[in-house]
Structure formats: C-alpha cells, structure tokens
C-alpha cells in the first residue's frame, strides 16, 4: 500500500476527526482513562466510523490504549508510535 484514500485523527475528547475539523485545545488522553471509559470512547468512535461512511480496510497509527478495542484493524500494534508515524510519513505521498 503506497497511499491512503482518507485520513482521520483519533481524539480522546472528540473521537474520530477529519483532517479539516477544527477543535479547541484540550488536555485529555485515553492513557489516563479507566478501562470502562476507554470502552465507552471506542463505542463512540465505532459509531462515528459508521456515520462518516468509512468502509473497507482502515489502519490505526496510535498507542495501544487508542486501538485496543479495534481488534484486527491495527497492523502496527507491535511498533512504537514513533515508528508508526515514521512509516506513515514515508508512505503518505501527497495526501496532506
């Protein structure tokens, strides 16, 4: 895979964001949430994925707390976030 059709951002506060979405500063992370709160957040994100019409294969470039409820959709789960971002930067080719 050499390019991405669409990129979204996972936000602890807002869930699934499009690149053009504008948000205000916030200080919130899934890393400080309980397992119950992370599960509730993942249900919100799954609903947003459906509502935005995201179909087909999608990959998460994020830490384990952000993708732990999305089994089978995280080919980079064994890589640190830094390596994930480096891979993405190398392969984005004109997306951003």
Query: What is the tally of structural domains in the chain?
Result: 1
In-domain check, residue 62: yes
SS (H, E, C) 1-52: CCCCCCCEEEECCCEEEECCCCCCCCCCCHHHCCHHHHHHHHHHHHHHHHHC
The answer to whether residue 3 is domain-embedded is no
35 inside domain:
yes
Structural domain for 68, as ranges: 8-91
User: Is 1 within a domain?
Assistant: no
- Name the average pLDDT for the chain: 79
Q: What is the pLDDT of residue 86?
A: 79
pLDDT for 43-73, tens place per residue? Answer: 999 999 999 888 877 777 677 777 777 765 5
């Amino acid at each position: 895979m050499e390019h991405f059709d669409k990129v979204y951002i996972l936000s602890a506060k807002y869930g699934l964001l499009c690149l053009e979405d504008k948000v205000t500063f916030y200080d919130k992370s899934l890393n400080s949430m309980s397992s119950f709160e992370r599960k509730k957040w993942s249900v919100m994100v799954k609903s947003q994925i459906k509502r935005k019409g995201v179909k087909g294969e999608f990959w998460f470039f994020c830490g384990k707390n952000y993708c732990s409820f999305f089994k089978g959709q995280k080919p980079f789960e064994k890589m640190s976030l830094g390596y994930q971002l480096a891979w993405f930067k190398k392969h984005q080719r004109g997306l951003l």
